């Protein structure tokens, strides 16, 4: 039996993240490296989950290459993204805050 | 496989289309140019430069674009008082053997009269171009560019590696292939340098990415849009590693800058980041700026890998759209030429999709319209830049 969920893809043996190849809903159980874990928030295709615990300051590795540095401790199976990883080159710009403020002001449900 | 044929130009290059370029030489002439082209917009494409201040890069780009192998005739539309050197541009086009005419709005009776003159000129040229003879053309005579836009976490594992496979096949067949955006290769400099044909070129490749990293750091933003993060990409270096896969596995034969024509078949990196101090803002303000630079270096068509779902095409040279994300493909399938999302679903291998892209390149070269081309997409953008010429070590013999 596979140690890791079919919905998760390991790109390179040294990676400490797995790529989500099909959307996974919040609360759904996922299997990462033999461990059954609950997923706290929904993740869509192309996002990343921690293959193992990653400590703040550790490099985040995908494609066998460093894609940034953990800016917070990341538990195994957790969503790895802009809230817990920073670039080693230029900071990442997102519209997360603007979208959240807009959705609150306009009472828009998240799609 | 279809036998390729092309339109032979005086410089020996062959075009896969025979378009009329309607070129405005300042934004003030843009509307008139657009109205001139509109009735024949499938064949007459609007290109141009919006600025009124002179710029050597823009001058060179317009000269390259107006003598692109896919262009059979050129109408220049000038307001009359802009700084663009229309005299030199017209001479370069005339020397290439193409029909060319300059309409100066201030001397042609204004908007309506210029539009009427321009439309009549286009009608006459299209009649001539319709009888133009095609000559046999080989795959090795193709120049193909690749860009990615609206990338997400799927781009680097499906569409980009598949485009890379197609590039490997094209390079093997002797074609010239160009990949780019040094600002989206940040973090890949060392692995990329290992593929250079000479140690000197390896140093040049590394330096081009270091320049891009400095340039974007000064501007405060990487080449990274908010939608990239929505799609699961976290940092510029993660986006870069995915984008890098478009280049395939071939050795890298050289580094060119926008407007440099690859001297022979092979794989080339295009350095799109301006030289010298940071001036004029972001290097390429949107995806079409990259496509325009590919065309200026002779690309007959561009492979465009998208995860979030870009719908753009291009003036003058077809764009082949490769969908990386299977969910996006379902939503935008009429805009997409290839569904590389099948790789993520486990329905096709990277090799199979790579082969599909390669076959489509040949079909589009043979005259088949890409989706964006058939829907009339003809986007174009050109802004200010400045470059130093490349040195001899950039193109080892």
Torsion of CA A64, A70, A73, A77, to 10 degrees: -40
Which of B232, B246, B309, B324 is the best residue to mutate to test the A interface, defined by the most A CB atoms within 10 Å of its own CB?
A: B232
Residues B217 and B307 in one domain: yes
Assigned domain for A47 exists: yes
Question: Measured between alpha carbons, how far is B101 from B75 in angstroms, rounded to an integer?
Answer: 5
Give pLDDT, residue B1.
59
Q: Is the pLDDT of residue B278 over 90?
A: yes
Between positions 23 and 42 of A, the ones with CB within 8 A of B are: 23
CA closest to A84 among chain B residues: B234
Assigned domain for A1 exists: no
Assigned domain for B9 exists: no
Are A46 and B188 in contact (CB < 8 Å)? no
Residues B170 and B268 in one domain: yes
Residues B146 and B37 in one domain: no
Are B191 and A65 in contact (CB < 8 Å)? yes
Buried b (16+ CB within 10 A) or exposed e, A56-72: eeeebbbbebbbbbbee
Residues B235 and B315 in one domain: yes
Q: Is the pLDDT of residue B13 over 50?
A: yes
Residues B206 and B316 in one domain: yes
CATH number at residue B127: 3.40.1400.10
Are A45 and B186 in contact (CB < 8 Å)? no
Mean pLDDT over B40-61 rounds to 97
Hey, is B268 helix, strand or coil? Answer: strand
Who wins on pLDDT, B168 or B148?
B168
On chain A, the residues whose CB falls within 8 A of the CB of B152 are: 45-46
Q: Is the pLDDT of residue B379 over 90?
A: yes
Mean pLDDT over A82-110 rounds to 85
Q: What is the pLDDT of residues B309-335, one digit of tens each?
A: 999 999 999 999 999 999 999 999 999
Question: Which of B69, B104, B131 is the last residue before a domain boundary?
Answer: B131
Assigned domain for A111 exists: no
- In 10 A of CB B12, how many CB atoms? 8
Assigned domain for B8 exists: no
Are B241 and A63 in contact (CB < 8 Å)? yes
Total structural domains within chain A: 1
Question: By the CB < 8 Å criterion, does A44 face chain B?
Answer: yes
Helix intervals (H) in chain B = 30-37, 56-66, 86-95, 110-129, 159-172, 189-193, 199-219, 226-230, 236-244, 287-296, 326-332, 341-344, 350-365, 371-374
Q: What is the pLDDT of residues B67-90, one digit of tens each?
A: 999 999 999 999 999 999 999 999
Q: How far is B324 from chain A (nearest CA, A)?
A: 10
On chain B, the residues whose CB falls within 8 A of the CB of A61 are: none
Mean pLDDT over A32-57 rounds to 94
Question: By the CB < 8 Å criterion, does A82 face chain B?
Answer: yes
Residues B341 and B238 in one domain: yes
Are A46 and B221 in contact (CB < 8 Å)? no
Q: What is the pLDDT of residues B111-156, one digit of tens each?
A: 999 999 999 999 999 999 999 999 999 999 999 999 988 899 999 9
Which of A5, A46, A82, A84 is the best residue to mutate to test the B interface, defined by the most B CB atoms within 10 Å of its own CB?
A: A46
Question: By the CB < 8 Å criterion, does A111 face chain B?
Answer: no
Give pLDDT, residue A103.
87
- DSSP code for B184: G
Residues B283 and B169 in one domain: yes
Question: Which of B112, B131, B150 is the last residue before a domain boundary?
Answer: B131
- DSSP code for B193: H
Which sign, positive or negative, has the C-alpha torsion A41, A42, A47, A52?
A: positive
What residue numbers bound the domain in which A69 lies? 8-106
Mean pLDDT for all residues in chain B: 96
Are B226 and A68 in contact (CB < 8 Å)? no
Are B232 and A47 in contact (CB < 8 Å)? yes
Give pLDDT, residue B226.
87
Q: Which two tokens stand for residue B135?
A: 């000559």
Share of chain B above pLDDT 90, in %: 94
Are B231 and A46 in contact (CB < 8 Å)? yes
Hey, is B246 helix, strand or coil? Answer: helix
Assigned domain for B52 exists: yes
Give pLDDT, residue B373.
98
Are A45 and B325 in contact (CB < 8 Å)? yes
Question: By the CB < 8 Å criterion, does A1 face chain B?
Answer: no
Residue pointed to by tokens 């596979």: A2
Give pLDDT, residue B288.
97
Question: Measured between alpha carbons, how far is A74 from B147 in angstroms, rounded to an integer?
Answer: 33
CATH number at residue A86: 2.30.130.110
Banded model confidence at residue B2, pLDDT cuts 50, 70, 90:
low
Residues B111 and B233 in one domain: no
Total structural domains within chain B: 2
Q: Is the pLDDT of residue B66 over 90?
A: yes
Question: By the CB < 8 Å criterion, does A9 face chain B?
Answer: yes
Question: Which of B80, B102, B131 is the last residue before a domain boundary?
Answer: B131
Q: Which two tokens stand for residue B110?
A: 């204004």
Residues B98 and B195 in one domain: no
Interface ipTM: 0.86
Mean pLDDT over A93-104 rounds to 86
Banded model confidence at residue B220, pLDDT cuts 50, 70, 90:
confident
Assigned domain for B7 exists: no
Mean pLDDT over B27-37 rounds to 98
What residue numbers bound the domain in which B228 lies? 139-392
Residues B205 and B270 in one domain: yes
CA closest to B242 among chain A residues: A63
Residues B207 and B269 in one domain: yes
Are A89 and B188 in contact (CB < 8 Å)? no
Assigned domain for A2 exists: no
């Amino acid at each position: 039996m596979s140690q890791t969920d079919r919905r998760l893809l390991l790109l390179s043996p040294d990676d400490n993240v797995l790529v989500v190849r099909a959307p996974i809903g919040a609360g759904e159980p996922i299997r990462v490296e033999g461990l059954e874990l609950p997923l706290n928030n929904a993740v869509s295709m192309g996002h990343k989950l921690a293959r193992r615990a990653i400590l703040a300051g550790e490099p985040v590795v995908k494609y066998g290459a460093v894609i940034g540095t953990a800016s917070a401790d990341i538990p195994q199976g957790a969503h790895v993204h802009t809230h817990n990883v920073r670039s080693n080159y230029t900071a990442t710009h997102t519209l997360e805050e603007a979208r959240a403020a807009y959705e609150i002001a306009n009472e828009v449900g998240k799609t | 496989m279809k036998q390729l044929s092309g339109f032979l130009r005086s410089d020996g290059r062959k075009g896969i289309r025979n378009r009329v370029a309607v070129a405005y030489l300042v934004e003030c002439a843009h509307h008139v140019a657009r109205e001139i082209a509109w009735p024949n917009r499938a064949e007459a494409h609007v290109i141009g430069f919006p600025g009124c201040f002179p710029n050597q890069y823009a001058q060179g780009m317009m000269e390259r674009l107006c003598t692109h192998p896919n262009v059979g005739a050129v109408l220049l539309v000038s307001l009359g008082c802009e700084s663009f050197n229309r005299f030199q541009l017209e001479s370069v086009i005339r020397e290439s053997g193409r029909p060319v005419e300059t309409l100066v709005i201030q001397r042609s009776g204004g908007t309506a009269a210029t539009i009427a003159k321009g439309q009549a000129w286009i009608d006459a040229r299209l009649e001539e171009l319709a009888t133009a003879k095609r000559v046999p053309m080989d795959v090795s005579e193709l120049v193909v560019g690749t860009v990615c836009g609206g990338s997400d976490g799927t781009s680097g594992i499906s569409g980009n590696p598949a485009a890379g496979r197609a590039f490997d096949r094209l390079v093997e067949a002797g074609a010239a292939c160009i990949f780019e955006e040094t600002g989206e290769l940040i973090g890949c400099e060392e692995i990329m340098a290992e593929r250079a044909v000479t140690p000197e070129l390896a140093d040049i490749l590394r330096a081009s990415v270091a320049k891009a990293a400095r340039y974007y750091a000064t501007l405060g933003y990487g080449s990274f849009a908010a939608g990239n993060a929505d799609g699961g990409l976290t940092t510029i270096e993660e986006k870069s590693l995915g984008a890098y896969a478009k280049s395939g596995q071939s050795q890298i034969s050289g580094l060119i800058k926008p407007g440099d024509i690859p001297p022979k078949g092979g794989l080339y990196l295009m350095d799109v980041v301006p030289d010298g101090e940071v001036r004029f803002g972001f290097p390429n303000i949107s995806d079409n700026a990259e496509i325009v630079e590919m065309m200026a270096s002779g690309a007959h068509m561009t492979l465009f890998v998208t995860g979030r779902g870009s719908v753009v095409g291009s003036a003058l040279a077809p764009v082949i759209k490769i969908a990386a994300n299977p969910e996006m493909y379902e939503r935008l399938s009429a805009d997409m030429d290839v569904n590389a999302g099948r790789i993520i679903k486990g329905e096709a291998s990277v090799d199979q999709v790579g082969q599909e892209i390669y076959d489509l390149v040949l079909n589009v070269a043979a005259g088949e319209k890409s989706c964006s081309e058939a829907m009339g997409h003809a986007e174009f953008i050109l802004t200010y830049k400045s470059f130093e010429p490349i040195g001899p070590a950039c193109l080892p013999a």
